[in-house]
């Protein structure tokens, strides 16, 4: 099936190259004319992961409407906070029965909706737009390097989920599947906030004990929030939960961990963001998650403290000490 990747960033480039290597007819839409030209003529992306040669059968296109109309499967590899705007602007280009694959990870700040819920808002049921998402521990650079990787495809329709699973699966990339769509999307989004916390610990100079505590307790908080949103608790022990959490908290390629690390070193958030050149989804998700825990009355102290550091300028050392000084309690609900 012909597939269009919407977004010429790191993940969009990696997914486009991956599918093209499989021999799948693949388009990749990018806003920048110089990116489109370089992919088509020199077979590399000059803005992202420029050290990699891309397959010659990966075709870049600057006409977004054409990219959408010409394919059966549309992969959304753009930042989560612009997805609603993008779909609103381009909804008339979508055709009945197309499959949208969500490759972004985030929670909308105002509505607190996940990506699939935004898609549901935009498209009427009679259009029969199908949806699945790809989640799990998968740095774009390592996918381009063809390093063994495992991901999970989540969707409500079993037939569509299996179709996308087969589309993504390849000799170095193993794809599993799940019906817990909200769980997969919540795990993928929320782990970015915990990665900021572990990056902070690294930046301050704390050791592995501290990181292990933050990752473990962070996973517990992710699970509590996700379950209140309707997810299955066991989903958070899989690739879209624990797997993605480990990668993002320990991997040096993680943008969210990098943000936390640099804050821990004493840099101002504004300076960090201006120098990154790419979106750190965890900063936006920290606000969404804070609103979620307030809405549902969930106790999630790590998420609360990350929010206060990012949005209320709370000193990070004070936040970490406040976590340690909390009232003693059982580890789990006993």
Sign for the CA dihedral angle at 237, 185, 144, 1 comes to: positive
What is the Cα 70 distance to its own chain's centre? 26
Report the DSSP pairing between strands 130-135 and 58-61.
Answer: unpaired
**Which long-range contacts (C-beta less than 8 Å, at least 24 apart) are formed by 315-318?**
316/200, 316/204, 316/263, 316/264, 317/204
Contacting residues for 86 by C-beta, under 8 A, at least 6 apart: 6, 76, 78
* CA Rg value for the chain: 20
Q: Rounded to whole angstroms, how far apart are CA atoms 331 and 334?
A: 8
List the catalytic residue out of 21, 191, 211, 224.
191
Look up 191 and say whether it is catalytic. Answer: yes
Give the Cα separation of 187 and 91 in Å (integer).
27
Catalytic residues: 191
């Amino acid at each position: 099936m012909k597939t269009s990747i919407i977004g010429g960033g790191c993940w969009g480039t990696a997914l486009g190259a991956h599918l093209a290597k499989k021999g799948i007819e693949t388009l990749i839409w990018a806003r920048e004319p110089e990116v489109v030209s370089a992919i088509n003529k020199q077979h590399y992306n000059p803005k992202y992961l420029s050290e990699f040669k891309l397959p010659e059968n990966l075709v870049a296109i600057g006409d977004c409407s054409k990219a959408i109309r010409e394919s059966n499967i549309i992969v959304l590899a753009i930042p989560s906070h612009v997805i609603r705007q993008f779909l609103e602007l381009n909804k008339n280009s979508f055709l009945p029965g197309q499959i949208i694959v969500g490759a972004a990870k985030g929670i909308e700040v105002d509505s607190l909706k996940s990506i699939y819920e935004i898609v549901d808002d935009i498209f009427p049921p009679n259009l029969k737009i199908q949806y699945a998402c790809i989640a799990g521990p998968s740095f774009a650079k390592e996918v381009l390097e063809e390093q063994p990787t495992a991901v999970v495809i989540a969707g409500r329709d079993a037939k569509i989920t299996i179709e996308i699973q087969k589309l993504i699966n390849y000799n170095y990339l193993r794809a599993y599947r799940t019906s817990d769509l909200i769980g997969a999307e919540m795990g993928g989004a929320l782990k970015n906030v915990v990665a900021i916390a572990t990056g902070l610990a690294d930046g301050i100079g704390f050791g592995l004990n501290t990181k292990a505590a933050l990752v473990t307790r962070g996973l517990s908080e992710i699970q509590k929030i996700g379950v209140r949103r309707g997810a299955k608790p066991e989903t958070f022990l899989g690739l879209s939960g624990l797997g993605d959490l480990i990668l993002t908290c320990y991997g040096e390629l993680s943008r969210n961990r990098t943000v936390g690390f640099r804050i821990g070193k004493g840099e101002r958030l504004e300076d960090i963001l201006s120098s990154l050149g790419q979106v750190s989804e965890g900063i936006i998700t920290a606000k969404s998650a804070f609103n979620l825990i307030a809405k549902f009355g969930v106790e999630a102290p790590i998420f609360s403290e990350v929010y206060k550091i990012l949005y209320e300028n709370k000193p990070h050392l004070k936040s970490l000490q406040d976590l340690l000084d909390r009232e003693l309690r059982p580890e789990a609900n006993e």
